[in-house]
Structure 1
Amino acid sequence: MKERTMNDRFTIWRFKDIENAYVPKKLLNMKRMLRLLMGVSLADDMPSNLQFTADPDYPNDTLMLDSFGNTQSVIPISAKLKVFLETKNIANLEFIPLAMLDHKGKVMAQYFLLHSTELIDAINKEKTELEVDDLNTEMYDTVENLSLLDECVPSAIQIFKVKGLYDVTCISKALAKEIDDQGFTGISWKEIATYSC
């Protein structure tokens, strides 16, 4: 019987390009942004008045999805998707209120940042090609042939951040399928073994 691997269990949360969809540009009012990217809990210091500006290069793109790709390496989600995920009782998952601004700077919708503080040191350093970030030695800025160690991730875990990687949030394939089946928009999945940066 074939042994299950991390590629069988998990996939990486990514985003789907959809025509006329809103394009976030910059995250405002987030002090110490590195906390978000490194999976540090914000429960005791919850940011207030977080806002995403709209990209001025796409003035006519206003379609609101359940999640949006962005250059800030964060995961904005709709209130509807937040409610769905809350029913799953996922450990160490925080939802940070976020306003999406229109192209005139006015609030057009209320969203949340999906922020996992389940940080797991799971990289197989023998099989993954890594280069340490010059500015932050706890993180890697170049990754090829990502391989994760299955035994490092407990069976109950549904969503987690990979320690050392700024933009990798893994989600169980079972939960990813449920999200797809529910028809949530703007989300795609990337196989762990195909990730590089």
Structure 2
Amino acid sequence: MSKLPLIWEWDVGESFCVLTSLQNVEDEYELAKGVPRAKGFPANACFHMDPKFKKFVALADNISNLGRIIVVSKPLKELIESWKPREVEYLQVSIINHKKKVASDEYFIVNPLRVVDCIDKDKSDITWNKIDSEKISACEQLVLKPRAINSEFPLFRLRHFEHAVMVDRKLAQAILDEGFTGARFEEVDEFVR
């Protein structure tokens, strides 16, 4: 069994809502890069339920969204916090339902700030972005360098592929064992994007 961390993913199930992009936040793209945003984060930050999925209204503990930002319920945030991960921000957001009412104001963006240069570029099957040569735009096979990964960081991002958040296996298992909904974790060698 691999000891590598897992990739944080979403399980939308059969009734969980899907969210549009984050609203009322300038430079939202920074949340997929590990840029600190806690200072001055707007109190009116919110996500709307995606109108393309009007029948899907249930709130999962980990909610899928267009920006691939980790958005979690307060109980899931508290479990993550109990692991005392270093260099992680929790940014409160509201979820707005299809009727434009607040479905919940107790959700949080989990923003891992640590970016680790651990992709084995020679062994991975990756396509580099034609506009930004420092970014990976597609990945058919992801291979990591285990020695570059520090176990002191149970949540971190991959350099060149920052929107992918890595999670320690034990933390991922704790999330699943507690029955949190909407969370799925993928093995590195099965990851394709």
In 1, Cα distance between the equivalents of 2:129 and 2:39?
Answer: 28
In the TM superposition, 1:90-105 aligns within 5 A as 90-105=85-100
Q: Which residue of 2 is the match for residue 59 of structure 1?
A: 54
Indicate whether 1:89 and 2:88 are aligned: no
TM-score, scaled to structure 2: 0.93
CA offsets per residue over residues 97-119 of structure 1, 9 Å max, x none? 11100112221102111110011
What is the CA deviation profile of residues 26-79 of structure 1, one whole-angstrom value per residue up to 9, with x for unaligned ones? Answer: 221221122111111113342442111111122232211101122211111001
C-alpha contact (below 8 Å) 2:114/2:157 kept by paired residues: yes
Contact 1:73/1:166 (CA < 8 Å) preserved in 2? no
| Deviation at residue 137 of structure 1 after TM alignment | 2.7
- Number of residue equivalences: 192
SS of residue in 1 equivalent to 2:35:
coil
Deviation at 1:167, TM superposition (A): 2.6
**Where does structure 1 differ by over 6 angstroms across 4 or more consecutive aligned residues?**
none
Contact kept? 1:38, 1:166, Cα under 8 Å: yes
Matched, 1:10 2:5: yes
Q: Distance in 1 between matches of 2:25 and 2:140?
A: 30
Alpha-carbon offset, residue 148 of structure 1 = 0.7
Aligned residue in 1 for 2:167: 171
**Matches of 1:165 and 1:115, distance apart in 2:** 15
Structure 1 residues 144 and 185 mapped into 2: Cα distance closer, same or farther (>3 Å)? same
Bigger CA drift: 89-98 or 68-77?
68-77
Equivalent in the alignment of 2:154: 158
- Structure 1 residue matching 2:39: 3-state secondary structure: helix
- Structure 1 vs Structure 2 CA RMSD: 1.6
Q: Does 1:121 align with 2:117?
A: yes
Return 5+ residue gaps in structure 2 as ranges.
none
Q: 2:192 aligns with which of 165, 175, 196?
A: 196
Q: CA contact under 8 A between 2:72 and 2:109: conserved in structure 1?
A: yes
CA drift of 1:131 comes to 2.2
Which stretch of the first structure deviates more once superposed, 94-103 or 127-136? 127-136
Three-state SS of the structure 2 residue aligned to 1:82 is helix
Question: Contact 1:38–1:164 at 8 Å: present in 2 too?
Answer: no
Aligned amino acid, residue 55 of structure 2: N
